[in-house]
Amino acid sequence: MKLGLIGCIGVLILVLLVFGGWFIGVRNHLVELDQQVQAQWAQVENDYQRRYDLIPNLVRTVQGAANFEKSTLEAVVNARARVGQVQMPGGAPGTQSNIPNNPQALAQFEAAQNGLSNALSRLLVVVERYPELKSNQNFLELQSQLEGTENRIAVERRRYNEVAQQFNTSVIKFPANLVANFTGFKPKAYFRGVTGSAQPPEVNFQPFGNQPAPAPAPTPAPATGTR
């Protein structure tokens, strides 16, 4: 009787050890994947921050052009302010950003950044009407830096989605999802493409009121009589 009890206890201990080792191994793997997502998110934030820091110099340079469109500059300044209102860090200094863990927060962050991207695109289109800016070396350098930053942002966003997908797959798949649910790991939010972003915007430089008149409708052929 005692030997049977001892044997059962031994089997139970062995099962607990095996399960505990598996549990710890899965959790450590999720921790590693989570850190990869956080590290990649930091790269995304760094490039967005670089663009954010470039804009004041760009605005000051463009303001020097005679009669530059005030509304275009105001749109950039206001869009930048909205980006600044979005909470970038996750809390106290040194803590991880919570945005990847919150789809709504990421959507707000992305909406603000897309608004700034649109305002900057409009600014660079309007600049084409100002030859003094197109030949301004300082402006050309800032434009080049902005274009390079936009490219880096696109690359880092894609990489973020890739590592987030790896993490989400591990969190959702059975049986690792049991460990994830027990230890509080949740799927990460993705960057989503803006509706219509695959199509280039249509830019019409013709002022309103000077649109070409529509072509006249063709005159119907006269009806022929019947005999």
Is 205 part of any domain?
no
- Cis omega (within 30 of 0) for bond into 218: no
pLDDT digits (tens, 9 = 90+) for 44-55: 999 999 999 999
Tokens of 135: 């030949």
Is 7 part of any domain?
yes
The C-alpha atoms of residue 83 and residue 110 are separated, in whole angstroms, by: 9
Instruction: Select from 84, 86, 80 the least CA-distant residue to 116.
Output: 80
Check: pTM over 0.85? Answer yes or no.
Answer: no
CB of 109 within 8 A of CB of 86?
yes
Is 116 part of any domain?
no
Half-sphere CA count of 100, side-chain side, radius 13 A: 28
Angle at which helices 2-63 and 70-85 cross, to 10°: 160
CB of 157 within 8 A of CB of 24?
no
Torsion angle of C-alpha atoms 20, 22, 27, 31, degrees rounded to 10: 130
Is 65 part of any domain?
yes
Is 197 part of any domain?
no
**Contacts (Cβ under 8 Å, ≥6 apart) of 115:** 79, 82, 83
pLDDT digits (tens, 9 = 90+) for 156-214: 999 999 999 999 999 999 998 999 999 899 999 999 865 444 443 343 333 323 333 33
Q: What is the DSSP letter of 192?
A: -
Is 106 part of any domain?
no
Q: Give the chain's length.
A: 227
Is 134 part of any domain?
yes
Instruction: Select from 85, 82, 99, 91 the least CA-distant residue to 45.
Output: 99
Residues of the domain holding 73: 2-84+121-183
Is 125 part of any domain?
yes
CB of 101 within 8 A of CB of 186?
yes
Instruction: For residue 14, give the CATH number of its domain.
Output: 1.20.1440.20
How many structural domains are present in the chain? 1
pLDDT digits (tens, 9 = 90+) for 75-123: 999 999 999 888 554 444 444 578 999 999 999 999 999 999 999 999 9
Q: What is the DSSP letter of 1?
A: -
Residues of the chain by 3-state class (helix, strand, coil), percent to 5? 70, 0, 30
Q: What mean pLDDT comes out for the span 137-156?
A: 92
- Tell me the one-letter amino acid at 71: S
